[in-house]
Structure 1
């Protein structure tokens, strides 16, 4: 302090504690955030791609399983599943499959389509059913008649394809006579034999002691059915004793056939082991 003078004012420094600071984002942090977003999008894309690929392989597996399930109805696959049986057929299966090495499953036709292509027929009683040699004639054009991959001529059903067929026949007769022999047969003509072959037969002998008025409406019906192996060119027909007493009409008389298995089933007889 100087003598006789006024002292100098001291210097004051004020610190403002309310000053706000603006944080400047770091350039390095923003760069890492963008990389993370891109990586996340890449993971999502790979996940979706994996789901699509997995769905594709599941669909392929489903189709393979479906074809294998249908394979049991096809003779080719049946023979392939039994190598001992197919080997005994002299290389037939090898000629069908060929020598191409491939992991693809052979194409198998749809079982439903195969069934729809099988032959069948149904004939109904004709207005004039009496033919030669007691052969029953049928109606094959009008009414509930149908012939699919089969033919008809002069009372005979014509076979066009080899296979096992379910045959059936129904006839109805006026049984109002005192003595009446009724014999219903299903016959087959084939090129292998000169004479007709009897497939099914129903026989009945009626003896009445009185002829009352109520007996005038007495009817007798016969129904025959069975499974038989038929070849292309075979002819199936029905004969009936006392055919003059046959009651005509489409509802009382029927004849039909439909294939239940194509071709011929191979039957292997195993010799006893010594």
Structure 2
């Protein structure tokens, strides 16, 4: 902005200047020039130019005092880029820690669920341990107390006495009791309940005697000892088909290495279906 110089007005009156800064009306015109100001950064702080009077046009004319300069406007502070980088680094670190904690919690939850499922499976296996044969227990690596029991069924392939039994197939099983030489071998002494059932049937009635015997043997004692016996005669009449069932069961104290066997009067009259002829024991 260029400085303006006053013009002479008829009647020796000066042109009016800025309010409060010009000469009086009865004084001659004076020169006006701009005051240098500090540079303005990015046009953020703007204020109008201030003029002060250099003097009057005529020498010896009194001048009004100049206006004081305003204080300089302080520059706006800028955030350093380093602080922004530090804040971003801290934010990334916090986010990473939160994600790590979340994944750790999920992993612990999965491990806990797996551990609980394993405990449930162990409880189920322990509940059914009484019905698991020794061979299956060896495969699964379980070392649990086995309930000593056995149940064997009729075997139609036999030809002589004592009766031969089926120890594995169908309803048959052995647990802590061995099936050996057509008998059940006791490996632990104790109180046992022994039972046996045989179904006799024929196509013609005759007067022969039917017998059903359970006996035991032990290497420490010679011979055999009868535990239970059933004998019957006159069990049929006429010349028609007949059937008769014989059941034996009682409680005995058995020793280690006792072997129990079953005899009948005639193998040809025995029905060897597994639900009709069977033999077994269990420890109390």
- Tell me the TM-score normalised to structure 2 length: 0.47
Of the two, which has the highest radius of gyration?
2
Higher helix proportion: 1
- Tell me the TM-score normalised to structure 1 length: 0.48
Greater relative contact order, per chain length (Cα 8 Å cut-off, separation 6+): 1
